[in-house]
Chain A
Amino acid sequence: MSNFNNVEYFDGKTAMPKKGSLSFLPDGIGFESESLYLKFEYTEILNIQEFSDTFHIELKTSTKGASKKLKIFDKKLKDEIEKNWLKSKTFTGNKAAYKLHSFNLHKVLLISAVTLPLLIFIILSLFYKSYILIPEKFDIYLGRSVYEQMFSDFKKCENTTLNKEIEKIFHMLPKENQEFNYSIEIIKYNIFNAFALPGGKIIIFNELIEKSKSPENIAGVLAHELSHIEKRHAIQQLVRTLGFHFVISMMIGGAGEEFEILETISEVGGTLLFLNYSRGFEEEADEIAVEKLIKAKINPLGFIDFFHTLENVLKQASDKLKDTKENNENKENIQKNKDTTMPKEKENDKKPLIINIGEWLSSHPDTEKRIKKIKTQILNNEKEYKELINDIKYWEKIKYQCSSDL
């Protein structure tokens, strides 16, 4: 092949390039100027960069803090050198990365349109399934540390009768994972709630017991919490969060630090996505809870009844909030009327900024929808059930025994 003129060589010693020509050798290229003749093997090429009208061939050097470069202006010459250089490269991964980077934008867009969603799907699926690799001992450890940090300071309900009745219901429910240490604890605190800690412990607050209408209500709640434990929802959520953040940091970090603003936006999107996952876990726990109740021959209608109580509790809380707000406004109006020196403000000037939180922002599905789903599941599995307590008056009496101890 003939000589290619109009080539510049930067030797790393002076900022002024040496002008000359380039020729092809059996295993490399030769640069020749008026005072210089240099041979470079293809393996000495570090990188080839393309600019609007020029191409830079970066060369290896043994001198610390120095570098050499050839600047060429001919695309055909660059293509030929590139072809030979890639042939000389041994590490295929490196080669593939370079080739992918040398595609034009249209090709890259086309490749990414197909591969990127697929890759994200694969990687997230792998992450989502990877929770099975985490030993169940980790659930027990995690549950214990959460308990020690959050609940160890709460007062336990020590009423023997109530504890005995609740434990009786709890033991009736089938448990599938023999690795976990299943236990239940009633905490004296006025919250209408129950928690499932990873590893087997369930925490139930006495207000939930007091507001229940029957022991079947409690059985439903316990079965639901047990399902969270057995399906390892806490660990799944943890792994999913890690997977999501990994994908986001790869997408944004890979694009360069200039794009880090996107990370903040993605964090918000991620939070909304995880609330959606959380709703999925709740629905799964409801479904398994009904199965558990049916297996234990406990009437699952008690679980539906619990949701009605939950709706009432939520309604009461919302009414209370409204009343307090109205009271505050009344107080303000009285204060305004009293204060004659202050000019009266327009009503619109003092409107509080209230953000309406929709269902999509909730970690739990809509209660009505849950009831509907459970009803359908029960209809498909009708069986005979046994009463947990024959005398409902007895339940009405014992459910308050914890707070009477307060």
Chain B
Amino acid sequence: MSSIDGYKSLNLDGKGSELLKISIVNTILSIITFGIYYFWAKVRVKKFFHANTELLGGRFDYHVTGKEKFIAFIKASLIMSGVFGIIGGIPYFLSYFNISPLISQIAGVIFFYLLIGLAAPLLTVASRRFTLSRTSWNNIHFKFAGHVKPLYKIMSKGILLSICTLGFYIPWYICELRKFTHENSKLGKIPFKYTGEGREIIKYFLIFIIILLAYSSYLIFSVFPVIKTNLMEAQQNQTHIALEGEAGFTLLLPLLFILYYIWLYIKLYKYHWENTAFQKYHFRCNITVSKFILNFIKAVLTAVLTAGIGLPWSVIIMKRYLLGTIHISENTDVAAILAAPDEESSALAEAIDEAGDAFDAIADFLG
């Protein structure tokens, strides 16, 4: 039952016992096959969550096969070993030109980060294209129509301005990225819309800056001088430094960051969903900090009190809550959702599509 009038929520109706069963069978088969079944196992769990999520009477599905994942892994491993081979070979190559080993190693590291920077938009687009094309609702597949070039523009501008403005541009950057990913995502022929703006979420980040400044001042003026003295004494006496009482207080401050991070995550989750629209209707989201924490405690207790056996139930508690807070208008015209015919695409887009599964696996590796 939806808690917002005129809206229906996403509903995860999968059972913990079913997920536990899948997990056990996956484990047995993965061990028997010396790990090869691992790819089929991952697909099985993803399929469980997709197929057990219901919206407006229809269900989602995940259409990847274990075989596809396995082949993608081999392709990705080949690409990755080629890339790492080149990076590793740079110092040897430069040594022929009598360049010092230190400079050669630095060149290797710079090349690596440059490559990551250049590959990030490509991996994002390819991974999203692959994932969305393999996800469906009532057998109508999602689609991602975004191209790499505009994402390069957004990312290079976003990173540069975020650095230049000492992070103040981050909210605008986040919204631009969301706009790019959402507005290029379609269910069949119908694209999603995103109306979020950076100025509306900057308030959430200002709190972060205040905590960061307060914490940094505390570290600089109170903690570092004590650590420095302790270290010097320890060096003189050739002993190890003992963790003193003040350190306990110092460790409490990161806890504040964790709590802030949870709060920020919830605020942004709600904001992004409420600024996303399908057809002409905006989604609604009724996530709250208190309910999120309550469900989190429930999930943790379920796992701890059952010595880990209840972990599938814990995962379902959290996923069910998060999905259940997303609501879609009852007026959504389901009959108007039609599959998209094959559209014209560029050679690069075709190539990305072809290698999409491998790029998705690489994006998976790099987290």
Contacts and interface: CB of A to CB of B under 8 A. Distances in A.
A253 interface: yes
A324 B24 contact: no
Given A101-B22, A324-B237, A350-B245, A258 B45 contact: yes
B20 interface: yes
Given A253-B38, A349-B245, A111 B28 contact: yes
Contact of B26 (A105, A255, A354): A255
User: Chain B at the A interface: mostly helix, strand, loop or mixed?
Assistant: helix
Given A111-B28, A254-B30, A354 B337 contact: no
Contacts of B24: 108-109, 112, 116
A351 B61 CA distance: 57
Interface residues of B, number: 64
B156 interface: no
B337 A14 contact: yes
A384 interface: no
Contact of A259 (B21, B29, B35, B311): B311
Interface string A325-352: 1011000000000000000000001111
Contacts of B20: 105
Interface residues of A, number: 59
Nearest to A50: B18
B63 interface: yes
Contact of B139 (A69, A259, A354): A69
Contact of A116 (B28, B35, B133, B311): B28
Contacts of B23: 254-256, 259
Interface string A81-120: 0000000000001000100110111001101100110011
Nearest to B188: A15
B315 A246 contact: no
B241 to A, nearest CB: 9
Interface in B329-367: 334-335, 337-340, 342
A349 B247 CA distance: 12
A64 B245 CA distance: 63
Contacts of B51: 49, 51, 56
A293 to B, nearest CB: 36
Interface stretch (A5-13, A146-154, A176-184, A305-313): A5-13
Interface string A281-323: 0000000000000000000000000000000000000000100
Interface of A: 10-17, 49, 51-52, 56, 58, 64-69, 93, 97, 100-101, 103-105, 108-109, 111-112, 115-116, 119-120, 123, 246-247, 249-251, 253-259, 262, 321, 324-325, 327-328, 349-354
16 contacts: A12-B139, A13-B338, A14-B337, A14-B339, A15-B58, A15-B335, A51-B13, A56-B59, A56-B61, A65-B133, A93-B33, A97-B29, A101-B44, A250-B31, A258-B315, A262-B308
Given A10-B139, A14-B335, A116-B27, 7 more contacts: A66-B339, A68-B139, A112-B27, A247-B31, A251-B31, A254-B38, A353-B242
